Structure 1
Amino acid sequence: MRVYLVAGELSGDILGAGLMRALKSRHPDIEFRGIGGPRMIAEGFVSLYPLETLSVMGLVEVVKHLPGLIRVRRHLRRDALAWQPDVMVGIDAPDFTLGLERQLRDSGIPTAHYVSPSVWAWRQGRVKGIARSVNVMMTFLPFEAAFYERHQVPVAFVGHPLADELPLVNDRRAARQTLDLAGDGPVLAMLPGSRANEIRFLGRTFLDSAVRLIERIEGLQVVIPAATPQRHEELAALLKEYPALTSRVRLVNGQSREAMVASDAVLLASGTAALEAMLCHRPMVVAYRMAPATHWLAQRLVKTEWISLPNLIARETLVPELIQDAATPEAIAERLVTWLGDFQARQAIESRFAAMHAQLQRCASERAADTVLALAQRRSLPQQVAPGEFEKAP
Structure 2
Amino acid sequence: MKYYLIAGEASGDLHASRLMRSLKAHDAEAEFRFYGGDLMQAEGGTLVKHYSELAYMGFVPVLLHLPTILRNMRQCKEDIHNWRPDVVILVDYPGFNLKIADYVKRHNICPVFYYISPKIWAWKEYRIKDIKRNVDELFSILPFEVDFFEKKHHYPIHYVGNPTADEVKEWRLTPPSQGGDGGGSPVIALLAGSRKQEIKDNLPTMIRAAQKFEKDYELVLAGAPSIDEAYYQRFLEGTKVRLVKNQTYDVLSKAHAALVTSGTATLETALFGVPQVVCYETPLPWLIGWLRKKLLKVKYVSLVNLIADREVVTELVADTFSQANIEHELELILDGPARQQMLEGYEEVWQRLGKEKAPDNAARLITQILRERL
TM category, shorter: 0.7 to 0.9
Count the aligned residue pairs.
Answer: 365
| C-alpha displacement of 1:233 | 0.5
In structure 2, what is the Cα distance between the partners aligned to 1:60 and 1:41? Answer: 30
Number of the residue aligned with 1:268: 260
In structure 1, what is the Cα distance between the partners aligned to 2:24 and 2:202? Answer: 44
| C-alpha displacement of 1:159 | 2.0
| C-alpha displacement of 1:127 | 1.0
Amino acid at match of 2:166: D
| C-alpha displacement of 1:286 | 1.0
TM-score, scaled to structure 2? 0.86
Could you tell which deviates more after superposition, 158-167 or 51-60? 51-60
In structure 1, what is the Cα distance between the partners aligned to 2:71 and 2:195? Answer: 30
| C-alpha displacement of 1:169 | 9.6
Number of the residue aligned with 2:167: 165
- Verify the 8 A CA contact 2:220 2:251 in the aligned structure 1: yes
Quick check: which has more Rg, 1 or 2?
A: 1
Number of the residue aligned with 1:387: none
In structure 2, what is the Cα distance between the partners aligned to 1:93 and 1:46? Answer: 20
Number of the residue aligned with 2:62: 62
> Is 1:324–2:318 an aligned residue pair?
yes
Determine which of 307, 315, 319 is the counterpart of 1:313.
Answer: 307
- Verify the 8 A CA contact 1:194 1:231 in the aligned structure 2: no
Number of the residue aligned with 2:217: 220
Amino acid at match of 2:141: F
Amino acid at match of 2:48: L
| C-alpha displacement of 1:140 | 1.5
> Is 1:114–2:115 an aligned residue pair?
yes
Q: Using a 3 Å threshold, how does the CA distance of structure 1 residues 201 and 71 change in structure 2: closer, same or farther? A: closer
In structure 2, what is the Cα distance between the partners aligned to 1:50 and 1:208? Answer: 37
TM-score, scaled to structure 1? 0.82
- Verify the 8 A CA contact 1:310 1:318 in the aligned structure 2: yes
> Is 1:371–2:365 an aligned residue pair?
yes
Number of the residue aligned with 1:201: 201
Q: Considering only aligned residues, what root-mean-square deviation do their CA atoms show, in Å? A: 3.0
Q: Deviations over 1:312-343 (max 9, x none)?
A: 1101001111123322222222222221121x
Number of the residue aligned with 1:45: 45
Q: Which runs of 5+ in 1 are unaligned?
A: 380-394
| C-alpha displacement of 1:71 | 4.3
Q: Using a 3 Å threshold, how does the CA distance of structure 1 residues 6 and 346 change in structure 2: closer, same or farther? A: same
Q: Which runs of 5+ in 2 are unaligned?
A: none
What's the secondary structure of 1:367's corresponding residue?
helix
Amino acid at match of 1:377: R
In structure 1, what is the Cα distance between the partners aligned to 2:252 and 2:163? Answer: 18
Could you tell which deviates more after superposition, 368-377 or 88-97? 368-377
In structure 2, what is the Cα distance between the partners aligned to 1:67 and 1:297? Answer: 35
Number of the residue aligned with 1:390: none
Q: Using a 3 Å threshold, how does the CA distance of structure 1 residues 196 and 64 change in structure 2: closer, same or farther? A: closer
| C-alpha displacement of 1:355 | 4.6
Amino acid at match of 1:156: H
| C-alpha displacement of 1:178 | 5.1
| C-alpha displacement of 1:212 | 3.4
| C-alpha displacement of 1:279 | 1.4
- Verify the 8 A CA contact 1:226 1:253 in the aligned structure 2: yes
> Is 1:233–2:233 an aligned residue pair?
yes
Q: Deviations over 1:105-164 (max 9, x none)?
A: 341621111222221011211111111110112121111232111212231112222211
Q: Using a 3 Å threshold, how does the CA distance of structure 1 residues 329 and 79 change in structure 2: closer, same or farther? A: closer
In structure 1, what is the Cα distance between the partners aligned to 2:143 and 2:128? Answer: 17
- Verify the 8 A CA contact 2:263 2:302 in the aligned structure 1: yes
